């Protein structure tokens, strides 16, 4: 019954026109002295005709209403159910088609993100098992090596930081706190994080203070610096050297004397999950460190480039100028 009253409300304009038209006709008939019975007969015929038209129209109105109720209960939109007999219906069809396309694109994107997340966590679990297994063996050893245990704990800490960064970076709630920062303080934080690893591998650190102030996010930029230092330490042999310097204003260079990156792998190092020849040999590489660095730096409006020569080392350049553009 509510549907019927709503229908009358929606059609009140046309009902009003019909009523006004009848009054005009009745007035004209009376002016020409038509019989009253003729006027009533005309009113009866027109009323029956209007009633039949309204019955058909109400049936279609209720059908549309029920179709929309079904759509509310279901996430699936069946375009075949819609009538295309009028311009209004064709416009309505186009709107539904657009909504359906958007819905399917959204579902596809969600499914892709879900698969990516499952793949990442599967890989992360395998990576995390390695230091856990190593620590178990160390704890069973009577001659427990404290340095080796610290190294495995450091690896576990890196994996934890990486998974948190991956989740936060892909979250819609990720925010960046931009402020003026002293670059040397951030570099020292990153160096302290790996101090035990520098000592364990007897790697020389050549750090020249930059005395540079930059506009960035402290937490995210420190994560990037730690990832780059982690790679440098991982692929630099014992007695090697890692140099941190500033070649020009806001251009930080981190250079190592490690094994280098093959030219065929260099252009793909920022791809998600790509480990290259070095990663396949190392077996502990996740292929996400540089991928995360690139995405974070893009969000911070900074730039990263990598140069490398096999057998000589790798040079990572961070342009920390705050480029004009989006800030997410």
The pLDDT of residue 47 is 78
For CA atoms 72, 114, 266, 298, give the dihedral sign. positive
171 by DSSP, 3-state: which? Answer: coil
Task: Supply angle C-alpha 269, 272, 275, rounded to 5.
Answer: 50
Report, in angstroms and rounded to the nearest whole number, the Rg of the chain calculated over CA atoms. 36
Q: Which of 165, 152, 291 is nearest to 228 (CA)?
A: 291
Are 51 and 58 contacting, i.e. CB atoms less than 8 angstroms apart? no
* Alpha helix stretches (DSSP H) within 247-304: 263-266, 276-282, 289-299
Are 4 and 58 contacting, i.e. CB atoms less than 8 angstroms apart? yes
**The token pair that represents 281 in the structure block:** 């040999």
Question: What are 214's strand-pairing partners?
Answer: 181
Q: Round to whole Å and give the CA distance between 85 and 64.
A: 14
The pLDDT of residue 75 is 55
Alpha-carbon separation of residue 104 from 82, 99, 100, 101, 110 (angstroms): 19, 9, 6, 5, 10
101 by DSSP, 3-state: which? Answer: helix
The pLDDT of residue 317 is 95
Please state the φ and ψ torsions of residue 248, each to the nearest 5 degrees.
-155, 175
Helix axes 87-140, 146-169, angle to 10 degrees: 170
**The token pair that represents 294 in the structure block:** 């690139």
pTM of structure: 0.60
Characterize 205-243 residue by residue with b for buried, 16 or more Cβ atoms within 10 angstroms of its Cβ, and e for exposed. eeeeebebebebbeebbbbbbbbbbbbbbbbbeeebebb
Q: Round to whole Å and give the CA distance between 1 and 75.
A: 28
Helices and strands (DSSP H and E) totals, the chain: 11, 7
Element (H, E) at 318: strand 313-319
pLDDT tens for the 328 residues of the chain, in order: 577 777 777 777 777 877 787 777 777 777 777 777 776 777 788 778 878 888 888 787 787 777 767 766 665 555 555 555 556 667 767 777 787 788 788 888 778 777 776 766 666 666 666 667 766 766 666 666 667 777 667 777 777 777 777 777 766 566 788 899 999 999 999 999 888 889 888 999 999 999 999 999 998 999 999 999 989 998 999 999 999 999 888 999 999 999 999 888 888 888 877 776 665 555 556 667 888 899 899 989 999 999 999 989 999 999 998 765 443 4
Alpha-carbon separation of residue 192 from 37, 232, 247 (angstroms): 105, 15, 23
Q: Round to whole Å and give the CA distance between 236 and 59.
A: 79
Taking the CA atoms of residue 153, residue 155, residue 159 and residue 162 in that order, the dihedral angle to the nearest 10 degrees is 120
Characterize 266-297 residue by residue with b for buried, 16 or more Cβ atoms within 10 angstroms of its Cβ, and e for exposed. beebbeeeebbebbeeeeebbbbbbbbbbbbb
Are 228 and 292 contacting, i.e. CB atoms less than 8 angstroms apart? no
Q: Express the helix, strand and coil content of the chain in percent, nearest 5 each.
A: 60, 10, 25
Q: Which of 306, 132, 171, 141 is nearest to 235 (CA)?
A: 306
Question: What are 307's strand-pairing partners?
Answer: 315
């Amino acid at each position: 019954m509510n549907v019927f009253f709503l229908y009358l409300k929606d059609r009140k304009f046309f009902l009003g026109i019909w009523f006004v038209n009848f009054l005009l006709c009745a007035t004209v008939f009376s002016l020409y002295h038509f019989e009253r019975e003729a006027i009533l007969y005309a009113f009866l015929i027109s009323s029956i005709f209007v009633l039949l038209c309204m019955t058909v129209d109400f049936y279609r109105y209720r059908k549309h209403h029920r179709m929309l109720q079904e759509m509310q209960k279901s996430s699936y939109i069946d375009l075949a159910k819609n009538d295309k007999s009028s311009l209004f219906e064709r416009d309505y069809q186009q709107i539904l088609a657009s909504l359906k396309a958007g819905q399917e694109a959204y579902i596809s994107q969600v499914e892709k993100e879900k698969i990516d997340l499952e793949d990442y966590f599967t890989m992360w679990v395998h990576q995390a098992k390695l230091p856990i297994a190593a620590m178990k063996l160390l704890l069973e050893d009577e001659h427990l090596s404290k340095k080796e245990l610290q190294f495995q704990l450091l690896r576990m800490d890196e994996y934890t930081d990486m998974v948190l960064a991956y989740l936060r970076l892909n979250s819609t709630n990720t925010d960046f706190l931009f402020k003026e920062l002293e670059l040397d303080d951030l570099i020292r934080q990153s160096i302290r994080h790996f101090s035990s690893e520098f000592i364990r591998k007897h790697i020389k650190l050549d750090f020249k203070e930059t005395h540079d102030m930059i506009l960035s996010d402290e937490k995210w930029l420190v994560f990037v610096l730690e990832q780059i230092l982690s790679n440098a330490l991982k692929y630099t042999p014992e007695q090697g050297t890692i140099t941190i310097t500033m070649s020009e204003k806001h251009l930080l260079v981190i250079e190592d004397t490690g094994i280098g990156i093959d030219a065929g792998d260099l252009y793909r190092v920022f791809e998600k999950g790509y480990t290259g020849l070095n990663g396949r040999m190392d077996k502990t590489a996740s292929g996400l460190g540089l991928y995360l660095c690139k995405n974070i730096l893009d969000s911070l409006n900074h730039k990263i480039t990598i140069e490398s020569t096999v057998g000589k080392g790798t040079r990572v350049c961070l342009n920390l100028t705050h480029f004009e553009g989006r800030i997410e």
